[in-house]
Structure 1
Amino acid sequence: MQSTQSLKRRIRAVINTAQITKAMEMVAANKMRKSQVVALNSRPYAIKSLELLRELTKRTSVIPSLMKTPETKKENKPLIILICADKGLAGSFNSNVFRKFEKKFGGEKGSYVYAAVGKKAEEYLSRKNIPAQTSFIKFGDHAAPEETQTFANFIIDGFLAGNWSKIITVSTYFRTTLRQDVLIRELLPVTFNAIDRDIKEIAPEHGRFAPTSEDAGCHIFENYGYLIEPTTKKGSVKLIENLSKHLVEMMMYHLILESNASEHSARMVAMKNASDNASELKDDLQLIFNKSRQAGITRELAEITAGANIN
């Protein structure tokens, strides 16, 4: 049996660990709420932008380039974007993305090219000896639009140039605090249904951040009150091209925000489990300590009694 001093040291170490994991749990919960708020604040803007783009394309018959399959060379491949976290200690958050990727694309990795969002995605591709076309890392607890701009432009410009036949993302979708699903989406060429889906997915399904009946979907303006200037076909094309590009940038931004919220949620749950396990371990060690101390007292009493009987 361990000495009481050794048990005391272990108990103190477990208590200190529990305090750290509890603090990390609270920090992760706060960051998760902030990530949700950031995503939801841009929801009305995204919905109105989609309404405007849909109405303009309907009335001008202009189809944006990002909604068409680009003319690519035969050897050009689809681009897969892996979206993970920069940090660990988030339970199975990162490994879930890797498992989904392996299950879907593991047998045909040579048929695609790759890009990484997050340090863990970059490290995973490096470990598998898979070259990454580009990496976007160190974007903090929740990325800002200006931080994702360069990466989004790289994706959009490369697609329009015909570098890739399509863009596929593997990322985590935040549903509730206790549930996050890894989804595979085709980002480009974009469709109205895809934009509509992504806007609706900005909010979680349940809780105070869930969408209300007022914003449950995207509704087209009943009264068309827009005048395109210049009124030429060229003017309409330029306007719609810019608007569609902006919406795709927003979709990419929200994919990363979703991943941010999922990461913080997974870390919060992981730290809560660690705190609970530490509490159970402390109780077990305390019980062992009490038994050890009681055994020591009993032994000393027996020695005193034996000595008295000899005298």
Structure 2
Amino acid sequence: MESLQGLKSRIRAVGNVKEIAKAMEVVAATKMRKSQEIALATRPFSYAALNILAKISKSSGVNGFFPEKKEGERLIVVIASDRGFAGKFNVEVLNRAEKLLNGNKNVKIAAVGKKANLYFKRKKYNVVKSFYGFGDFVSHEEILPLFNFIMQGYDSGLWSSVSIISTHFRTALLQEVISREFLPVDFEKIKEAILEIIPEHGKFAEHRGDFKGENGLAQTEYIIEPSSKELILMLMPYLLKIQLYDIILEANASEHSARRVAMKNASDNASELLDGLVISFNKSRQANITNELIEITATRSALG
């Protein structure tokens, strides 16, 4: 049986771990609520912007706003986190990226988050650019370096297409890793982006039916000057920036949700372990007391 001193030391260590995990859980819960509010608040605007673009493109017959380039290479943007202690958040994103890459180490990768950068460099993948420190509550200005890197590379012919792997926030307990084609853009990809934004239940859920038919949208005629194509090409950079911003916000909300769940599990496990150690300590102490009483009684009987 373990000594009382050893059990006391373990109880103290587990107690400290429990306090740290509980504190991190509270911090993660606070950040989770705020990041959720920000992510959910941007969804109506993102939905409206993409909806307008989809309607204009469908009614005007303009499609393939940024057609796929025959020259250039494929770029994959992997959005993970800068910090750990987030449960399976980073693991699921990196596993999805590995599945998409299929062992091809010549594909260009833009790593968002230190965890993604370290992972792909350790695996000897071709990381062409890394982005850190988007913050817990990212602003439009913070994503500009990533957005400019993607768009400038695409415009100059470096990238023939751009894919983004990130985590989409569903609920506090459910986050889904999604691989989406960011560039080139056409009506079908816009429709997919809208269906990702619109929730399956609750507010705005009734709009999902607007995009599930054969044509995807009811035919609506718009009179646009100077032309639909010029309007779309002017709006596309802003709408793509909104879409990228929404992706980052969803990933942030998912990260904080995953970290809160992970820290809650750690706190609960520490509590269970602590209870078991306390029981073991009490049993050990009781056994020592019983042995001492037996020795005293035996000594007295021998002397008597």
> Which residue number corresponds to residue 140 of structure 1?
135
Residue 28 of structure 2 corresponds to 28
**Alignment partner, residue 90 of structure 1:** 86
Q: CA deviation digits over 1:225-245, x for unaligned, max 9?
A: 8764xx3x5xx5443212111
Measure, in 2, the Cα distance between the counterparts of 1:145 and 1:294: 63
Choose which of 243, 247, 260 in structure 1 pairs with 2:239: 247
The match for 2:144 is 149
Paired position in structure 2 for 1:262? 254
Aligned residue in 1 for 2:273: 281
The answer to whether the 8 A contact 1:200-1:217 is kept is: no
In structure 2, the residue matched to 1:39 is 39
**Do the aligned residues in 1 keep the contact of 2:47 with 2:198 (CA within 8 Å)?**
no
For 2:252, the aligned partner's letter is N
Residue equivalent to 1:81: 77
Per the alignment, in what secondary structure is the counterpart of residue 78 of structure 1? strand
1:84 and 1:120 in contact (8 A); partners too: yes
Partner of 2:163: 168
Q: Is the 8 A contact 1:39 1:202 kept in 2?
A: no
Deviation at 1:79, TM superposition (A): 0.7
Unaligned runs of 5+ in 2: 212-216
Gaps of 5+ in 1: none
Q: 2:287 aligns with which of 295, 299, 303?
A: 295
Q: Contact conserved, 1:64 with 1:237, CA < 8 A, in 2?
A: no
Deviation at 1:104, TM superposition (A): 2.8
CA distance in 1, matches of 2:85, 2:266: 10
The one-letter code sitting in structure 1 at the alignment partner of 2:20 is I
Note if contact 1:51-1:218 (Cα within 8 Å) is conserved in structure 2: no
Distance 2:265 2:200 in 1: 24
C-alpha distance in 2 between matches for 1:214 and 1:204: 9
From the superposition, tell whether residues 221 and 42 of structure 1 become closer, same or farther in structure 2 (CA, over 3 Å).
farther
Which stretch has the larger CA shift, 115-124 or 181-190?
Answer: 181-190
1:102 aligns with 2:98: yes
1:158 and 2:125 are equivalent in the alignment: no
Give the alignment's TM-score, normalised by structure 1: 0.85
Q: 2:108 aligns with which of 96, 106, 113?
A: 113
Contact residue 54 and residue 190 of structure 2 kept, 8 A? no
| Identity across the alignment (%) | 47
Matches of 1:154 and 1:293, distance apart in 2: 65
In structure 2, the CA distance between the partners of 1:49 and 1:78, relative to structure 1 (3 Å rule), is same
Cα deviation, residue 180, structure 1: 2.1
Report the Cα distance in structure 2 between the residues aligned to 1:30 and 1:203, rounded to whole angstroms: 25
Q: Is the 8 A contact 2:49 2:239 kept in 1?
A: yes
| Alpha-carbon distance in 2 for matches of 1:182, 1:99 | 10
Residue in structure 1 matching 2:297, options 290, 305, 310: 305
TM-score normalised by structure 2 residue count: 0.87
Distance 1:38 1:294 in 2: 55
Task: Please state how far the C-alpha of 1:84 moved relative to its aligned partner.
Answer: 0.5
Following superposition, the deviation at residue 291 of structure 1 comes to 1.0
Q: What is the rounded CA distance, in whole Å, between the counterparts of 2:272 and 2:17 in structure 1?
A: 12
Shift of 1:86: 0.8
Aligned residues: 298
Could you tell me how far apart the structure 2 residues matched to 1:249 and 1:291 are?
63
What residue in structure 2 maps to residue 69 of structure 1?
Answer: 68
After TM superposition, the structure 1 stretch with the greater mean CA deviation from structure 2, 115-124 or 52-61, is 52-61
Structure 1 residue 215, shift from structure 2 partner:
5.0
Query: In the alignment, does 2:185 pair up with 1:190?
Result: yes
* Contact 2:58–2:187 (Cα < 8 Å) also in 1: no
Change (3 A) 1:199 1:57: closer
Per-residue deviation, 1:50: 2.4
Judged with a 3 Å threshold, the aligned counterparts in structure 2 of structure 1 residues 88 and 53 are, in CA distance, closer, same or farther, namely same
Amino acid at match of 2:81: A
Q: CA RMSD in A?
A: 2.6
